[in-house]
Amino acid sequence: MKRLGLVFVGIASPVMLLACVVGGPLAGRVFALLAVLFPIALIGLGTSRLSRRAGLRVALAGVGLLSVASTVGLLTLEGRPGLSLLLMICGLGLVPLIVLVTAYAATFDEASR
Amino acid sequence: MDRPAIILGVLGYFLIVLAIGVWAVGRTRSPSDFFIAGQRVGTFVAGLATMSAAFSGFVFMGGPGLTYRMGVSALWIVIPVGVTPAMLCWVLAKRLRSLGRTRELFTVADAIAVRFDSPAASGLAAVALALGSLAYLGAQILALGILLQVVFGWTALGPALVVGLLVLLTYSVLGGMVAGVYTDLVQGLFMIAAAAVVFVQALRRVGGWTSLSENLSRSELFGEQFLEPLGRAPVMTAFGFFFVFGVGVLGQPHMLHKFYMLKDVTRLKWMPLILGSSQAVCLLLWLGIGLAVPSLVAAGRMAPLADPDRATPTFILAHLPDALAGLVVAAVLSAIMSTADSFLNIGAAALVRDLPRAFGRPLRRELLWARVAVCGVGLAAAVLAYGSGDLIALLGTLAFGTFAAALAPSLAVGMNWRRVPAAAAIASIATGLISTVVLQIVTRQTSIDWPPEGVRPETISLAASFTALFLVTAMVKPGPGEPADDVAEVVGA
């Protein structure tokens, strides 16, 4: 997970910078997808010593997939404010909060640093 | 003001924080006590103190105003709360606290000095900390003055600034972070209680969610787009907010500082739960007032706001019973002062600890000088606030971006990847600092047609700072400059 997180952050940073510099609809969509995955990748980078815990990997992968799905939904839905608001609040806010907070407590290892 | 319950609420709140300041005097005997509360703080206190320091007056005053202006698109600033509490703990909290077991770490610049063994990197970080703290603090003191001015009905801003600053300085100078962290706890509890009550009250006032959305959708002023997440913000703005406020928390010293204060590293287990749940509850105030006020305006039950930043005080005064209004005003004061006391401490530490150490000249009587510096930083920020008007509010909003771009990449990646050399940290911090200033100037020039639509300068700065860190790391060959054994053990592979 550490290596994956590191590679993602290392590649995403210049791509996001480029997207900001050139602008446009395509750049905006690429930026959006990278932006929602960036914190997940950083978490992967920070959980190196726990990477063998399958539950943690599943939780991070689940939050990552949910974030991407919610973002794609938000970028494609137009004129349906109720659904898109639900996607933003639950898909990118509440559900990740519950999953990540639970995963952190469940996999907390006092011995590791 | 003819609302005695509100004035009583403010006075009662001031008495509580002053009493905590006096109580903390006897517990503040060393620089460790003053800067990191002697590392005697439990999870609950640290979690709530982190929340109340993180949520400044902007969340309670500026947030609803921003929602009035740009609809639910404004929520992109706070949606990252879904990932930030756990991310903070996974990426930095445990490592910072673990480093504090073997090294004397009081500040973020201390962590950078220990990790990279570079006075230039820690000195640059100290410059970012000093400038950002002054700007953040100035904005908080100005907000404090304006709120007291409204509550007490004073015509001039000066006396309100003096009273607010006096209360803030008294408990901050006397009790340092011992007072700071326990006043933050009380302030956090005020904020949670007020947010929950206001949310319920706001929904009741507009007749529930269905009525709220119908009012807004039918309104010419707000329209259907108001309730669409991308309705009033371009994609780059919305997800730029998510990126900066999501990843940028890793560079916010007022949050990271709290991790040093924990009794021991095992206390971190429940930290994301306490931090995340308290933040989620507090955001109900933003959501409640931010949606209720436009809905009431749309229904013709409230006049359109000339100044959207007055959404919160307008709602409090017009739609809450007196006792509740007193509690909410105390909560707004709490949000402002809990952030301000953190930055008084961090700004003072940058001046009396971080900068002298970066120049190889640590001060002898650090505790005494810290107390003097707290007064100096507070006065300087108040003068800046009084003299600069709107400019200081602008600087306040820039401060988050400055900390994010200057500090987040070196800390987040540097603390988790041993390969990052000091040169990369220096390049990243310098890129963050310089690009923040330059881009703020460039984006205000009407003659320059750049950056593209919706791209915010702080987004570019943060992405550029991460890029600089990786670029220089790739260019510098591994070898000399590896971290010391105890640091390497914490940083990992």
Angle, helices B322-349 vs B119-152, to 10°: value is: 150
CA distance B319 to chain A (A): 26
Please check whether residue B119 touches A, CB under 8 A. no
Contact assessment for residue B44 and residue B268, using Cβ atoms and an 8 Å cutoff: no
**Helix, strand or coil, per DSSP, at residue B30:** coil
Please check whether residue B236 touches A, CB under 8 A. yes
Provide, as residue numbers in chain B, all residues whose Cβ is less than 8 Å from the Cβ of A64.
none
Residue B363 has pLDDT above 80, yes or no: yes
Cβ <8 Å between A22 and B452: yes
Please check whether residue B140 touches A, CB under 8 A. no
Q: Which two tokens stand for residue B1?
A: 């003001």
Provide, as residue numbers in chain A, all residues whose Cβ is less than 8 Å from the Cβ of B212.
none
Contact assessment for residue A113 and residue B94, using Cβ atoms and an 8 Å cutoff: yes
CA distance A58 to chain B (A): 15
CA distance A62 to chain B (A): 13
Residue B109 has pLDDT above 90, yes or no: yes
Confidence of residue B449 (pLDDT cuts 50, 70, 90): confident
Provide, as residue numbers in chain A, all residues whose Cβ is less than 8 Å from the Cβ of B227.
81-82, 85
Cβ <8 Å between B86 and A85: no
Tell me how far CA of residue B344 lies from CA of B140, B168, B319, in angstroms. 11, 9, 34
Cβ <8 Å between A6 and B453: no
Cβ <8 Å between B454 and A28: yes
* Number of residues in chain B: 493
Residue A49 has pLDDT above 80, yes or no: no
Determine what percent of chain B is predicted with pLDDT higher than 90: 72
Interatomic CA distance for residues A80 and B489, integer angstroms: 51
**Closest alpha carbon to B294 in B139, B73, B142:** B73
Closest Cβ opposite residue B85 in set A71, A82, A101: A101
Residues 14-73 of B with CB under 8 A from A: 72
Please check whether residue B223 touches A, CB under 8 A. no
Provide, as residue numbers in chain B, all residues whose Cβ is less than 8 Å from the Cβ of A49.
492
Residues 403-462 of B with CB under 8 A from A: 412-413, 416-417, 451-455, 459-460
Cβ <8 Å between A28 and B239: yes
- Please tell me whether the overall predicted TM-score, pTM, comes out greater than 0.90 for this model: yes
Q: What pLDDT, on the 0 to 100 scale, is given for residue A112? A: 64
Query: Which residue from A minimizes the CA distance to B420?
Result: A6
Closest Cβ opposite residue B239 in set A21, A35, A105: A35
Give pLDDT tens digits for B291-334. Answer: 999 999 999 999 999 888 888 888 998 899 988 899 999 999 99
Query: Which residue from B minimizes the CA distance to A72?
Result: B235
Contact assessment for residue B319 and residue B201, using Cβ atoms and an 8 Å cutoff: yes
Q: What pLDDT, on the 0 to 100 scale, is given for residue A113? A: 54
Q: What pLDDT, on the 0 to 100 scale, is given for residue B349? A: 95
A vs B, Cβ pairs < 8 A, gives: 193
Q: What is the number of helices (H) and of strands (E) in chain A?
A: 5, 0
Tell me how far CA of residue B334 lies from CA of A42, B57, B173, B217, in angstroms. 32, 8, 18, 34
Give pLDDT tens digits for B223-259. Answer: 989 999 999 999 999 999 999 999 999 999 999 999 9
Closest Cβ opposite residue A42 in set B224, B230, B412: B412
Give pLDDT tens digits for B342-359. Answer: 999 999 999 999 999 999
Give pLDDT tens digits for B379-398. Answer: 999 998 888 666 655 666 67
ipTM score assigned to the predicted complex: 0.97
Provide, as residue numbers in chain B, all residues whose Cβ is less than 8 Å from the Cβ of A74.
229-230
Q: What pLDDT, on the 0 to 100 scale, is given for residue B480? A: 59
Residue A51 has pLDDT above 60, yes or no: no
Give pLDDT tens digits for B134-150. Answer: 988 988 898 888 889 88
Provide, as residue numbers in chain B, all residues whose Cβ is less than 8 Å from the Cβ of A83.
none
- The whole-chain average pLDDT of chain B stands at 91
Distance of CA B303 to the CA centre of its chain: 32
Q: Which two tokens stand for residue B49?
A: 């103190």
Interatomic CA distance for residues A47 and A39, integer angstroms: 12
Please check whether residue B212 touches A, CB under 8 A. no
Query: Which residue from A minimizes the CA distance to B227?
Result: A81
